[in-house]
Chain A
Amino acid sequence: MDPEGKGPPNRPEQSDKAKLKLQQRAERKEAKRVEKAAKAEVAKENKEVKAVGKEAKETKGKEQSKAKSKEVVQTQTSERTRKYSFSKDVSRLPQNIQVDDASVRKKVSKKLEKQNVPERKASDRKVGLFSHLYLYEKSSLKQFTSELQLVNSPIHPAIIKLGLKYAEGRISGSNARCVAMLGAFRRVIVDYKPIDIKSGARETEFDKRKTELDTILKSCISYLGQCRTKSLSMGNAIKYLKDKINSLPSDISVDEAKKRVVNSIDYYVQRSITLPGSEISNLVKGKIQNDDTILLIGYSSLLRKIIIDAHLNAQKRDISFRVIVVDSRPQFNGKVMLRHLVAAGVDCSYILINAISYVMKEVSKVFLSAHALLANGHVLAPVGSAQVALVARAYNVPVLVLCERHKFSERTQTDAFVYNELGDPDDLILPASKSRRPSIGLSSQRNNENLFLLNFLYDVTPPELITMVVTEIGPMPCTSVPAVLRMRQAEGDEPDDGDEPEDKSDDKREYKHDPDIVDYFAKCED
């Protein structure tokens, strides 16, 4: 072709202008196309909304004809269903996984305002797949705490302290958070002084106190939720506490009621956390054989207890086993586990999660802890557990999940997206060091618009990868979770009712062997 690249021989400027015109025309076409597409979508949506609205209206109509007395309520709900046609089903979902729905966020803000709890600013720069979850960055903590009302606040200072510890990650782990929260609530109840708030004239004195306490607890719980998303164990504990408070007989004094609730809290910790821990440890001791190699991942207070007990037991039985601790970024929780185990004299090795396929052939058992056991047999556990279970399955290594019954949930989930917790993305950025040039690495790219950092905290392991689950009632396959949930409903939850509250100070001595629990209870005694 033309070796000097002159192109079309005449009028180079014109060709430039022509190019520009073509470009502009193309752009205008693009814009029109996009507009059309958007309009079409909106039209489709409107159609859908109308269709569902019509359906809803029809069903509503049928209901109206059946229950005439509820007419007013019915018309109101039918209006609502026409506007937010899908939210009637969606409203049963917890609010903290509907963050991408603006109406839900508005509701949450209103609720927090009513309860006098400041709202923590959540980040919006999220990966699309996880946009339904809250993303709290540690940098928003400062603004949040500056808005806290410290004088005459509905939130007890023990709770404020606790929330900040959660937000900074100083208290982490399902059992630790639950026990710390119960310790703080215990303090709240012990310090509760009846204040006079307006209530209905027909309410008795006792009911007034109950609603007061309820309001206080609600604010505390919302505040803790703003600091860090509630864990499942915390949710179960709160349900239990609310049940206990609501079921108090109305003819006792406030002091007496306080004593009973405090006793219930102590009882719950003992019955759901301390004693099951010992029982599980007993059951697992027998499964450990001579020359076993056990793989652990991250840190779990329950697993630590089990391994240390098993080590003492092994010395008695004259057998030996070793432990491999698997660790991963960004938390490096395995280092904490390693420290505890080495101090107890257990034979330990330490690897990062990248190396599991190398060591798996030497491993005889994998012990996993769980954050929650779901009703369909899946296990919600700290991120990395599913990976380890998968590799173990490939090498035919049995995987045991060790979990107390209070972590059993009626939820079902098959993937790790629907419900998860997003951690601070800044944790993924390695701090700048002399050896690493600052221009390489994520810290220089933090404000890049095309880069999203994703740090999530839990993953879901399917039951086919798990050999057995050990709870305090014994070992069982993963698929028996619904049977246990049914049992729990049948047996109810009780001890401690209406009897003379005994002096439970002796029980605290039993906690002494578990340093975590003693710490938190000691701190709330102050």
Chain B
Amino acid sequence: MNEEEILHYFRKLLSDHPDTSAAIAAMQTMLECIQRSTAETLIELRKNLTSVRDTLTRKSDGPVTTISSGCELFVRFITLTSLEHSNFQDCKTILIERGQLFLKRTKESKDKIAKSSHTFIRDGAAILTHSRSRVVLQLLQEARNHNKRFEVYVTESGPDCSGERMHKKLNEMNIKSTLILDAAVGYIMEKVDLVLVGAEGVAESGGIVNKIGTYTIALAAKAANKPFYVVAESFKFVRFFPLNQRDLPTEFKFTSSTIRDKEDLHAEHPLVDYTPPSLITLLFTDLGILTPSAVSDELLKLYY
């Protein structure tokens, strides 16, 4: 598959199913690429997959963090098996099977998280969340299904006002929700019982990369002694350890079109920021409910 076909397929998936996460669409693209590939050796196949990943991270305008981590884990998972068959077709079949298994597990991960973590939302709780996250929505839906009464404060989350879409969705789910300004987080912090955010990527340190503004909310939560919970699927674990905000690579901070077109990136607003693990209480993942220090242990297990 060449670049255009890849991008076309990817974008079609996203437009047909607007509710799928970009990472899942990326993984499906990769699976399709393996099926259509004309490679005759494993190394060539691997090269193809790497090029798919590069195309998706650099040319499509999707969230780079999730796509790159999703693709890397996908490749890791499918190749983490014995491929000692003499016939290449057999190997390919195995890879495709494992790819479908991984995809299935990933699609189910949101349900798994919702089922294991909804108990953290108690009756009468006030929750603060930031920007729009599908996993958080599913978690709240699950809590709602268990007849919990709670209310949600959503930040507007500029510059793309994704918080407004979250607010609309919550209203559709019959959950009481209030839209607040990003600047009002400090004001609202004494009213809320817990903070619940999604993540675009979970770093090896246990910290998260998420929509800009998350770090500020985490600082305010720490100062006000409110628990800060992160909900993230395991394919978002990234092999990457930032020391501070400056250490975030440019590909994560800006969309690929911005990097291509704009010359002086200093004037551009970064889209994400890094929240260090010391500010995070717990992470709800499909691998279990983890403390930030356990993330690194899990990553060691996944990668070794």
A residues with CB within 8 A of B: 287, 289, 365, 396, 398, 400, 464, 467-468, 473-477, 479-480, 483-484, 487
Contact = CB atoms under 8 A, between A and B. Distances in A.
Contact of A287 (B243, B292, B304): B243
Q: Which A-B residue pairs are the 8 nearest by beta carbons?
A: A479-B293, A398-B243, A475-B241, A483-B297, A480-B296, A476-B296, A483-B300, A477-B296
Given A483-B297, A483-B300, A477 B246 contact: no
Nearest to A292: B246
Most chain B Cβ neighbours within 10 Å, of A467, A473, A477, A479: A477
6 contacts: A396-B244, A467-B243, A474-B239, A474-B241, A484-B300, A487-B300
B278 interface: yes
A477 B300 contact: no
A399 to B, nearest CB: 9
Contact of B304 (A396, A400, A468, A487): A487
Most chain A Cβ neighbours within 10 Å, of B244, B293, B296: B296
B243 A480 contact: no
Main SS at interface, chain A: mixed
A279 to B, nearest CB: 15
A297 to B, nearest CB: 18
B300 A468 contact: no
Given A468-B205, A468-B243, A474-B239, 20 more contacts: A289-B246, A289-B247, A365-B243, A400-B243, A464-B278, A467-B243, A474-B204, A475-B204, A475-B241, A476-B300, A477-B205, A477-B206, A477-B277, A477-B296, A480-B293, A480-B297, A483-B296, A483-B300, A487-B300, A487-B304
A124 B278 CA distance: 44
Interface in B215-239: 239
Contacts of A396: 244
Contacts of B300: 476, 480, 483-484, 487
Contacts of B206: 477
A473 B299 CA distance: 12
A478 to B, nearest CB: 8
Nearest to B293: A479
Contact of B247 (A287, A480, A483, A487): A287
A475 B238 CA distance: 12
Nearest to B241: A475
Interface of B: 204-206, 239, 241, 243-244, 246-247, 277-278, 292-293, 296-297, 300, 304
Contacts of B297: 480, 483
Nearest to B243: A398
A436 to B, nearest CB: 44
A487 B304 CA distance: 9
Most chain A Cβ neighbours within 10 Å, of B239, B243, B246, B247: B243
Contacts of A468: 205, 241, 243
A482 to B, nearest CB: 8
A258 B205 CA distance: 45
Contacts of A398: 243-244
A365 B206 CA distance: 20
A5 to B, nearest CB: 67
Contacts of A289: 246-247
Nearest to A479: B293
Nearest to B300: A483
Nearest to B294: A479
Contacts of A477: 204-206, 277, 292-293, 296
A473 B297 CA distance: 13
A287 B240 CA distance: 11
Nearest to B244: A398
Most chain A Cβ neighbours within 10 Å, of B241, B247, B277, B300: B241
A464 B276 CA distance: 12
Contacts of A473: 304
Contacts of B244: 396, 398
A344 B206 CA distance: 37
B296 A479 contact: yes
A483 B298 CA distance: 9
Contacts of B246: 289
A366 B205 CA distance: 17
A474 B205 CA distance: 12
A467 B304 CA distance: 23
B204 A476 contact: yes
B237 to A, nearest CB: 13
A325 to B, nearest CB: 21
A291 to B, nearest CB: 11
A474 B240 CA distance: 10
A479 B278 CA distance: 12
A483 B295 CA distance: 11
B270 to A, nearest CB: 16
Nearest to A484: B300
A240 B33 CA distance: 48
